[in-house]
Amino acid sequence: MDKQQKTLSLWMFGLLFISLTGAHGLNNFPENFVVAKTNENVILTCGSKADGAVTWKFRMFPSEEMEDVDSEDNIQQEGQNLKVSEVGTPVLGEYSCWRGEEKLSSTYLLLEDEEEEELDSLIRCRAKSYDCNFTCKWTRDGYTAVRLGLGHECSEGGKSCHWVSSSEQLQDGGFQFVLSHSLSPYAEESTMLELTAEAINDLSILRRTKRFYLRDIVQPDSPQIVKCQEVDQELNVTIDPPSTWSTPYSFFSLEHEIEYELKDDGQTGRSSSSALIPKKISKLRVRSRDSLVLSTWSQWTPWKNVRTGKKNLCKCKNTAKSCCPELPAGYLDKCKTKGKKKRKKTVGSRHLKKKM
């Protein structure tokens, strides 16, 4: 098989896979649905537009043909309504109500997922700051549609709940959400957030609510290492809060922790109380947390090499990789010319070789 054929067959396999899984799950929340427990009885109503005789049609998934509903033992039409008894897998799906050729309404009958799973094990939320947005990630696979809502209206299943759909489906099958809250970042936080999740797997639906304080999910982004200044035998490390952190910084105070590797023996050390650390180190990295509520620590920054002493300062061009003191303007230009000359020389000699 050549490369082109291989990619083509891979592609076709992918298409087949998508259409197969697509046929057996809902990728969106139906506009209308009714949730029933196993063996419960439910009554589906046609809606306000209905008067006179109506008929009901049924299909399990959107990809299937609709079939007329014949009254059976556990499905009975009563006037315009449809009564479904002893709900179980065979009767789940879309029921639509018709007057002749006109579709009046459609309702999905879904089964309540009664797994005793807590929302904590299904979803992870994180706020980069006390500002209005935070993100949540649905981590459990096997679900084809997930939505989240904040507030009492959503936990009560009210019609006016503002549901948030996933902003993207992640490669691992999870879903990512951006939620907005209206808590004031300056007020002492006394209100709990109430987060409700609904998730569809096949034709069953899971519904869970959890309550938490915003401060419990705060995790800042990594801070920025600005400079490393020699102060006698020590190094003064200047650290800036991450740009995504709440302002003013004097109010939303962060504490930083510095980790460093000693030049002599390669041992690592940490300092959290002071920005002054030993001078003879090869590299360092930093992380931050809210110092008031002792939030989760941020991720560490990448390691930065430490450049001190006059001899090393020419290596300060790449400040993303190196932590350097503040240098006088034009200092690095001197280093640049040196580098250029060297490069010219080597190019020159290579040309020479070719000619020979």
Residues binding ligand NAG (CB under 6 A)? 131-133, 178, 180, 229, 231, 236, 238, 276
Place of tokens 């190019």: 347
SS3 222: coil
Q: Which is nearer to ligand NAG, 82 or 228 (CB)?
A: 228
Q: Minimum Å distance from CB 127 to ligand NAG?
A: 11
Q: Minimum Å distance from CB 275 to ligand NAG?
A: 6
CA–CA separation, 197 vs 251, rounded Å? 33
Q: Minimum Å distance from CB 132 to ligand NAG?
A: 6
Contact (Cβ atoms closer than 8 angstroms) between residue 308 and residue 270:
no
Contact (Cβ atoms closer than 8 angstroms) between residue 305 and residue 282:
yes
Q: Minimum Å distance from CB 213 to ligand NAG?
A: 19
Phi, psi of 255, deg, nearest 5: -115, 145
| H/E element, 178 | strand 175-180
Q: Which is nearer to ligand NAG, 142 or 248 (CB)?
A: 248
Q: Minimum Å distance from CB 183 to ligand NAG?
A: 13
Q: Minimum Å distance from CB 131 to ligand NAG?
A: 5
CA–CA separation, 153 vs 157, rounded Å? 6
Q: Which is nearer to ligand NAG, 238 or 308 (CB)?
A: 238
Q: Which is nearer to ligand NAG, 204 or 246 (CB)?
A: 246
Q: Which is nearer to ligand NAG, 122 or 239 (CB)?
A: 239
Closest CA to 92 of 47, 48, 40: 40
The DSSP letter of residue 232 is: T
SS3 325: coil
Q: Which is nearer to ligand NAG, 178 or 292 (CB)?
A: 178
328: preceding bond cis by omega (within 30 degrees) = no
